[in-house]
Amino acid sequence: MEEATFMNNTKSNFGKWGWAMIIYCGISYYMAAVLSTDTLNWYPAAFASLRGWGEGFVNLCNTMAGLGGWIGVAAAIIFSIMAAKKGSRFMAVFGNVICGILCIIFATTKNMGVFLTMVVCLTFVAGNIQLNVVPNNIMNIWFPRKKGLALGWASMGLPICTATIVLILNIIGNPQTAYIIIGIACFVVAVLSIFWAKDTPEEVGATPDNEPIDMEQAMIQKEKQEAAAAKMTTQVIAKDKNTWLIGFGHGFLWMTTIGLVSNFVTKLIMVGTAPTLAVTMLTVAAVIGIIGSYIWGWLDQKFGTKNASIIYGVWYLIALLLMVFQNGSMGLIVLATIFVGFGIGGIGNLIPSIIGTCFGRFGFIQANRLIAPVNTAIRSTALVIIGIIGVEHLNTAYMVFFAFSVLAIILISFIKPKTYE
């Protein structure tokens, strides 16, 4: 009964160090979006104009970013193994230094081949380290029983980036200058990570979830959890049905999220919405996503990650139907913006939370080694599906995503939480 009460505690009483980790992970999520996805709406055209690389260059950038996503499937395994051996703080420093170097090359090269190679590298490095390995490991280890709520706060970094980064880049103007600044920001975060990022609460005298227990008891719990995680070999995790139910079930939900958001503006324009209004509504959706991040975390904490994931799937079924029947009327545009926007902030915290729920505080890293590549491979097919069907037939693509979302809900319903303590 005491455990259930704690799990349903939706108060954000994380303590000084807990909030420090949440803010740090929010920055990591923000930087991941800057370095991998959210700037794809801006830098291809900006650099094409600056370097004189032609209109086809924009499509090349999107293709190479997609390739980076697929390479990320293998990279996810490698980076997860590194994290298990070296810890999250090391990975944070390593990832930000690498991305800083890549950004400087990205900004200054005048060779298209080198530039496109940097697109691939930034996508798979940031999409794994800053988006997945570092913040998700830290959140699960610091908040084993309040991870849903903590992730709800931290993952606000993703929609905040969507809402602000293009505006910031437009203010800077020159893309070369912009990416030199982003590169410097990566180096600054790398230095801050040395002093700010902490692998466990115990190393700074804090307790998991800011639970009111003495340090001796906290260390005993930590040793038991580490011992349980040590038994989770790759073979053990591979035989656990939850591994594949999460990998495919949540992967399909992530695929739907990308499918909806990536062509949200395109769909609105296709039904007669003015381009400026369509872009504005995407920004509004991102702002709604900031609120959604917290709400999904609250639902996770209150009703459990499995139930919150099913609610998320149903929510996006409605969002898909709103896009299918979109006719350009202001009422439908507003409804679609609310449903799509509210969902943006959900998937980023539900996936790491359900893994932690099923595999435990220190088992997250081992389990994520198998689950992350599956999630990555499936989510990367969203744009492939749209590309094969054709942007001019978005409604057909949406119905494909609808079918996969129904399948996702079915798979998630079979997940059995708390396989390991």
Residue-by-residue DSSP string for 312-338: HHHHHHHHHHHHHT--S-HHHHHHHHH
pLDDT above 80 (res 217): no
Higher pLDDT, 410 or 86: 410
- Is 219 a member of any domain? no
Asked if 262 and 341 sit in the same domain, the reply is yes
* Model pLDDT, residue 180: 95
In a domain, 403, yes or no: yes
The domain boundary residue, chosen from 154, 184, 212 = 212
pLDDT tens digit sequence for 291-315: 998 999 899 988 989 999 999 999 9
236 within domain boundaries = yes
Q: What rounded mean pLDDT belongs to the chain?
A: 85
Q: Please indicate, yes or no, if residue 404 is contained in any of the structural domains.
A: yes
Contact yes or no for 358/304 (Cβ under 8 A): no
List the alpha helices (DSSP H) in 204-304: 215-230, 234-239, 241-262, 264-270, 275-303
Pick from 150, 182, 212: which residue ends a domain?
Answer: 212
Q: Is 208 inside a domain boundary?
A: yes
Q: What type of residue is 68?
A: G
Q: What is the pLDDT confidence band of residue 5, given thresholds at 50, 70 and 90? A: very low
Give mean pLDDT, residues 8-26: 85
Statement to judge: residues 131 and 259 lie in one domain: no
Residue 144 scores a pLDDT above 60: yes
The reply to whether 200 falls in a domain is yes
Contacts of 330 (CB under 8 A, 6+ apart): none
- Residue 295 confidence (pLDDT): 92
Residue 175 scores a pLDDT above 70: yes
CATH code: domain of residue 197: 1.20.1250.20
pLDDT for 373: 86
Q: What pLDDT sits at residue 334?
A: 93
Which residues constitute the domain of residue 337?
226-421
pTM of the model: 0.84
Confidence of residue 187 (pLDDT cuts 50, 70, 90): very high
Mean local confidence (pLDDT), 65-74: 80
For the range 108-112, what are the long-range contacts, defined as Cβ-Cβ under 8 Å and sequence gap of 24 or more?
108/176, 108/180, 110/51, 112/51, 112/53, 112/57
d(CA 376, CA 226): 27
Least confident range from 9-13, 149-153, 314-318: namely: 9-13
Asked if 311 and 378 sit in the same domain, the reply is yes
**Mean pLDDT for the stretch of residues 280-298:** 89
Q: Check residues 331 and 220 and name the one with the higher pLDDT.
A: 331
Q: Tell me, what's the pLDDT at 192?
A: 95
The whole-angstrom separation of Cα 147 and Cα 138 is: 10
Over residues 311-324, the mean pLDDT reads: 94
Same domain membership, residue 159 and residue 33:
yes
In a domain, 220, yes or no: no
> Does residue 231 surpass a pLDDT of 80?
no
What is the mean pLDDT of the segment spanning 360-369?
A: 80
For residue 279, give the amino acid letter.
V
Q: Are residues 198 and 264 in the same domain?
A: no
Examine the pLDDT at 393 and tell me if it is beyond 80.
yes
* Domain termination residue (choose one: 163, 184, 212): 212
The verdict on 96 and 239 lying in the same domain is no
Above 50 in pLDDT, residue 1?
no
pLDDT category of residue 4 using cuts at 50, 70 and 90: very low
Same domain, 246 and 371: yes
Give the count of domains, the chain. 2
Same domain membership, residue 140 and residue 205:
yes
Residue 217 lies in a domain: no
Tell whether 139 and 276 lie within a shared domain: no
Torsion of CA 231, 232, 235, 239, to 10 degrees: 120
Residue burial 177-214, b: 16+ Cβ < 10 Å; e: rest: ebbbebbebbbebbeebeeebbbbbbeeebbbbbbeee
**Residues 173 and 78 both lie in one domain:** yes
What is the mean pLDDT of the segment spanning 73-79?
83
pLDDT at position 44, please? Answer: 83
